[in-house]
Amino acid sequence: MPETSPARRVARLSSELKVTGLGQFALGLSCLVAALTGSDLEPVRAVIPFLVAFVVMGAFSLYGSRWLRLAETHPVPAGTPVEEPAATTRRSLVKVAVGLVLVALAVSLGPVFAVVFGGLLCSVGTAELRDYTWLRDRENASGREILRELGRFPLAGGGRALYTRPLSESTLAT
């Protein structure tokens, strides 16, 4: 795996996963609620497509995030800038904002589109939250936080290089 140049920033991966996972999960559930409350759609006719989309997308999401569990981690190269936590949150919210626009589109197309899209989005959020808990467990067990190289595009997905640095604040200050 290529080494990160000091010009390429890295960010704490668990922060990204938490923000995007929670946001997408909430947006997915809001699609289901909008379809149930904003139309005459019977609950069974809403919940079943939601669950089917949730299960199918969940399988793809968990398979797609296997890179995270299999990727080697390397120490952060000296001089590599680490993104501030507030900037990581703002950047991660861009992905959630795109999801919000797509939710509005899906709801405007009708309740069936809303429940299917809601199931897809909720599933992706759930997979990211699962990856978040796995990653936090790994960080706590190793005593090192995991950082990911930032992509050039805010919506860039996985597969970028992973790096570590000690979790201890006293160690980070040196």
Task: Look at residue 65 and tell me if it is in a domain.
Answer: yes
Domain count, the chain: 1
Crossing angle of the two packed helices 43-64 and 111-142, in degrees rounded to 10: 40
Task: Look at residue 54 and tell me if it is in a domain.
Answer: yes
Task: Look at residue 2 and tell me if it is in a domain.
Answer: no
User: Which residue range(s) make up the domain with 126?
Assistant: 10-173
Segment-wise mean pLDDT, segments of 10 residues, the chain, 174 residues: 59 92 95 88 92 96 86 85 92 91 90 93 95 92 89 60 71 45
Please report the pLDDT score of residue 157 as a whole number.
Answer: 58
Among 126, 138, 104, 127, smallest CA distance to 34 is for 104
Task: Look at residue 110 and tell me if it is in a domain.
Answer: yes
Please report the pLDDT score of residue 7 as a whole number.
Answer: 54
pLDDT tens-digit series, residues 127-164:
999 999 999 999 999 899 999 888 766 555 555 678 88
* 58-61 contacts, C-beta under 8 A, 24 or more apart: 58/123, 58/126, 58/127, 61/123, 61/124, 61/126, 61/127, 61/128
Threshold 0.85, pTM exceeds: no
